[in-house]
């Protein structure tokens, strides 16, 4: 039987803490995808609320953060076209 991980609820204590947690989580996934050579296949979907000026203002570089969000939001997945063509989505290395 697998151990049950502890649920860390402190990140939801304030609006700011869950927003910061969400940004950190997305950026961690992006970093890991890069390390594993999967960055080109990764499609993050940050919520539109993450573009809130209050969140951007807490970032070390608000302009860089907003460019990153815009890039995430503008990314078009290759999967819809692949599905339309083949009727399935097959990983590139399968």
Q: Alpha-carbon dihedral of residues 63, 66, 68, 74, nearest 10 degrees?
A: -140
The residues spanned by each domain of the chain are: 10-86
Pull the structure tokens for residue 86.
């083949």
CB 65 within 8 A of CB 56: yes
pLDDT of residue 79: 66
Residue 34: pLDDT band (50, 70, 90) is very high
d(CA 69, CA 14): 22
Question: Can you tell me the mean pLDDT for 71-91?
Answer: 70
Q: What angle do CA 63, 66, 70 make, to 5 degrees?
A: 140
């Amino acid at each position: 039987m697998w151990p049950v991980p502890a649920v860390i609820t402190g990140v939801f204590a304030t609006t700011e803490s869950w927003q910061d947690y969400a940004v950190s989580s997305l950026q961690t996934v992006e970093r890991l995808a890069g390390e594993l050579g999967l960055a080109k296949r990764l499609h993050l979907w940050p919520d539109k609320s993450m573009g809130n000026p209050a969140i951007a203002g807490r970032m070390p570089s608000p302009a860089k953060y907003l460019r990153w969000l815009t890039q995430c939001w503008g990314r078009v997945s290759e999967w819809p076209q692949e599905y339309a063509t083949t009727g399935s989505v097959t990983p590139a290395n399968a």
